[in-house]
Amino acid sequence: EVQLLESGGGLVQPGGSLRLSCAASGFIFNNYAMSWVRQAPGKGLEWVSIISGSDSNTYYADSVRGRFTVSRDNSKNTLYLQMNSLRAEDTAVYYCAKGASSAVAGRLNYWGQGTPVTVSS
Amino acid sequence: DIQMTQSPSSLSASVGDRVTITCRASQGITNYLAWYQQKPGKVPKLLIYAASTLQSGVPSRFSGSGSGTDFTLTISSLQPEDIATYYCQKYNSAPLTFGGGTKVEIK
């Protein structure tokens, strides 16, 4: 059974940093791309970033490029999102999601429960 | 970047009604289009991929169609458990942009 468990969310001041983690199980982790998707309170889904399965190609939404860094440790079956220079508009629930292939594209066929991030002073 | 536009943003229909949601891409994406369902307070769930392929376990009253720039999600007979917000997403290449969502309610 595929399981994705996010952690690391919380309250952070504007300009601060946070690192999210997503522990994966139930599939061969390095065979699949992984994405981060966020949802601000009462708003729709916003794709944030993707990292390929084994060669770690990465892509970012314009709204986070240069501030967020996605990475993965295939030996630990864990996905990360380092978030720097956080802004109030980054406040959201952050979901990790499994891609259907190793490429930096593809549908998202499994989602974690999400971890909330609040950026406020 | 390709933009994804959904319509309507919300709709209200009766149980048993046929419901149609549309999604338009600003450029052609062949059939690299997915639909997700997010029930209130829940995690998004993949419903349809490749524009028309039902994800395993999804009821057959859901169907998808389209290619290129225009896509449709249809619920053939709306059920109370279908109350949710539905999102389309392009996935041919990054960015994997979502549409703005369509909230479906029971009249």
Instruction: Convert the pLDDT of each residue in A17-37 to its tens digit.
Output: 999 999 999 999 999 999 999
Position A42, amino acid: G
Two tokens, residue B85: 């917000």
Encoded tokens for B17: 């009604």
Closest Cα in chain B to A60:
B95
| Residues forming beta bridges with residue B53, ordered by sequence position | B49
Residues for chain B: how many in total? 107
Distances (CA, A) of A47 to A32, A59, B62, B76: 17, 10, 24, 29
pLDDT of residue A102: 87
Measured in angstroms, the CA of A105 and the nearest CA of chain B are apart by: 5
Chain A nearest CA to B8, separation (Å): 14
- Exposed, middle or buried: residue A103 (CB in 10 Å: 0-12, 13-18, 19+)? middle
Distance from the A71 Cα atom to the nearest Cα atom in chain B, whole angstroms: 16
Q: Give the CA angle between residues B21, B32, B34 to the nearest 5°.
A: 45
Closest chain A residue to the Cα of B100, Cα to Cα: A44
Model confidence pLDDT, tens digit, residues A52-90:
998 779 999 999 999 999 999 999 999 999 999 999 999
Interface of A with B (CB under 8 A): 35, 37, 44-47, 50, 59-62, 95, 100, 104-109, 111-114
